[in-house]
Amino acid sequence: MFIFDAHLDLSMNALEWNRDLTRPISEIRRREHGQTDKPDRARGTVCLPELRAGNIGLVVATQIARYAKPKHPLGGWCSPQQAWAMTQGQLAWYRAMEEAGEMVQIRNSAELEKHLELWKVDGEGVASASTTGTPKPIGYILSLEGADSILTLSHLERSFEQGLRAVGPAHYGPGTYAFGTDSEGSIGTKGRELLNEMEKLGLILDATHLCDTSFREALDCFGGPVWASHSNARVLTPHNRQFTDEQLKELFRRGAVIGAPLDAWMMIPNWVRAQTTPQNSRLTLDKMVEHMDYICQFAGNARHCGIGTDLDGGFGREQSPADLDTIADLQRLPDLFRAKGYSSTDIEMIMHGNFLRFLRESWA
Ligand SMILES: [Zn+2]
């Protein structure tokens, strides 16, 4: 079945992890043996061949570069100009992938429909089983995770011209335009100006990572389309990174689709980095389905649930479900939903249909 993944940091992996994502996963892992600079060395789960193997033909791919003032709790680039330059470097990698025929940027409905035709996904979102022939380019919708790199509103316009279609105003900690995960505060005047400009340009607001105050203010101020690319429910994993039931209701009301992530600490409570393992916590893909089922039951339908794995977001097999070797294992999800009694129509909506509908409506 065709799969839409609403959150991958592909270019960050290419440039900051130094991974050649065009190569097989076994080769990428082999080259990292003995490296210790990142916790997920030799344990990556994402590369372009594995996306193809998993029939994951369309993804939301990020530019990501945080600006950090001296006392920022999590660090980042020392100036907004460096953050901007980093996102431009990341764009250059996506462009190189386009030139190599490995990826293709999707910016509007015409390009979306053409791409779905290439991957044989029909208007109802039914994917054909055929994966033969020459390797297909992975479609990507460009998104900015944390907007600190946007130096001025004219930089947002330039980014839009470059194909940027979604923006999450903040990432971790206090940002220029909003407060993110593990911080708390108002979007202020700068945040409002950014959101107004986003609305004018037709950009999607990604509500993921907004702190509770910034979430409320951003949704009040922004009239355009809203999604949440990679977030779970706070009732199942109590942490400010996840959405409260009130926030979920607001997202449903706005027609949002919420992508379910596979980062272990967001899936089960009390995850301790470097102590808890997928094995000793018995974390499997069933847990992802549990989170997604919660969203569907709470909404009363399957229209707001999607996938946003974040599987290359700074972790690998040490911090993702034990029964997942690579991202291609997402193909096991339809069976898990079937076992829970989900209809084929609902499963197709969850695997790709909801996000496709969202894009078709936003770009109409
Ligand atoms: Zn994230």
pLDDT tens across the length of the chain (364 residues):
999 999 999 999 999 999 999 999 999 999 999 999 999 999 999 999 999 999 999 999 999 999 999 988 889 999 999 999 999 999 999 999 999 999 999 999 999 999 999 998 864 444 544 445 678 999 999 999 999 999 999 999 999 999 999 999 999 999 999 999 999 999 999 999 999 999 999 999 999 999 999 999 999 999 999 999 999 999 999 999 999 999 999 999 999 999 999 999 999 999 998 899 999 999 999 999 999 999 999 999 999 999 999 999 999 999 999 999 999 999 999 999 999 999 999 999 999 999 999 999 999 9
Gap from CA of 327 to ligand 1 centroid (Å): 17
Gap from CA of 248 to ligand 1 centroid (Å): 18
Gap from CA of 64 to ligand 1 centroid (Å): 9
Gap from CA of 209 to ligand 1 centroid (Å): 7
Report yes or no: 98 and 105 within 8 Å, Cβ to Cβ.
Answer: yes
Q: How high is the pLDDT of residue 236?
A: 97
The rounded Cα 169 to chain-centroid distance in angstroms is 14
- Find, among 196, 57, 217, the residue nearest to 136 by Cα: 57
Gap from CA of 310 to ligand 1 centroid (Å): 7
Q: How high is the pLDDT of residue 122?
A: 64
Gap from CA of 181 to ligand 1 centroid (Å): 9
Gap from CA of 132 to ligand 1 centroid (Å): 33
Q: How high is the pLDDT of residue 71?
A: 86
Gap from CA of 128 to ligand 1 centroid (Å): 31
Q: Alpha-carbon distance 86 to 288, whole Å?
A: 32
Q: How high is the pLDDT of residue 129?
A: 42
Q: How high is the pLDDT of residue 327?
A: 98
Gap from CA of 160 to ligand 1 centroid (Å): 21
Gap from CA of 240 to ligand 1 centroid (Å): 13
